[in-house]
Structure 1
């Protein structure tokens, strides 16, 4: 968020927690992007504050967290001291979560894979109406194929992304593989290392598809520790995921930090990932 919007978001997080009876003497920005994560002190709550346009995503995330907590999934939990609903304040959607002190150690691939296995097992115990992964691909294609939405995308990049998104989405869909509820984006930035063990966050990206779609977001070594995963399918899903990532960066209104770098790097990552896929 821009500085002026960030100041309003901080105040929205502080005021929401205070109104619910939590003591807030200080606010620390943990993460700032299109939405912000704030540590509220001394009540030790993590406030996630998003523009009101993301209210639906915030409500989905809270609902997924509630259901997964009930089945002992390795996920970050909503703060149990307050109402778990998403609050609206000053054009922001505010949700309050348990704050987990990070452990200063890398999550080794075997522990990462174990957390994802347990997360997938928990997801099989709940029922949610979520998009198929191909719906997300279609949204990315809508950006690539519309020059008004991606005016800076060069023709060579547009051809690369369009072909990759359309071709791999179809190929993965017809593969004979089981599908289930997925996290959607379980990359290292969405996995906290805590004293309770690894916990997944950012739960609004749930979708349905093969587990390899999730594994393609994790470091490559993780898939080798995940029983029954198809290495070839992971490679195809990784190329598809990089193509979606790249498509979002070329949106006219994308606000990711270092966007210009990632526009170029994203296309390079797509080409590198495609080179590792089997012929055809």
Structure 2
């Protein structure tokens, strides 16, 4: 059985695991900042997921299927992800940075089929495996083992998940502070970095201190304007969801319970969608492995609390 959102959103062990996940996402960004920046804002992340899903859903017998500019732009606009111009610019950028390329033998002259490059697919594999590893740790499951190197299974999993992500308002609009970060380029990884600094997690605390935070350091590491970053921090402070122990920019930074709840609920929704997509694609294998129930993971709970 796949995890329910409520089970993940109410268990501190899950949130502790997510903090480790956040640290992993920051490390993945450092390894390839240009590529990782695609996944570091909500809009670009959804466009990347949608584009790769169109690629995975391609039917060789149907020339109108697959990933090509017109179909991608139409999908993005129809689902309210971005404007036509933004979607077209995204495709051009992916080709320019060699994260996508035109197929060697397009099915017809009208539709120039695109495909993600090995670098883009490898990153998405790592992203997916990081999520599956956390789900496995929570219930002693065998999702990673089941997926293995199954390219076809991964394609079906990714396209199923992308459909769920695009159609889920709680993933796309988790809350006001979350939105401040995730709708700007590299804002998502900045937020992951902030949460990765939580050393001791107390779900009942109104605020959690995360230590000093340098906007200049974050700007340099994550390719985001220092001025823009300060503006985001200022807006979050006005919302009362982030601030400094002393004057703005001085002393330790704290995150509010409300902000932590937004991040937690978002992650619970996303992980549940991933698990349900996995269950849909690999249902028979899941029944054979029969993982233990979520509540029966005492070793993990002890390690994370």
Shorter-chain TM-score range? under 0.3
Name the TM-score, length of structure 2 as normaliser.
0.24
Greater share of strand: 1
The structure with the greater share of residues assigned to helix is: 2
TM-score normalized with structure 1 length? 0.25
- Higher RCO structure (Cα 8 Å, ≥6 apart): 2
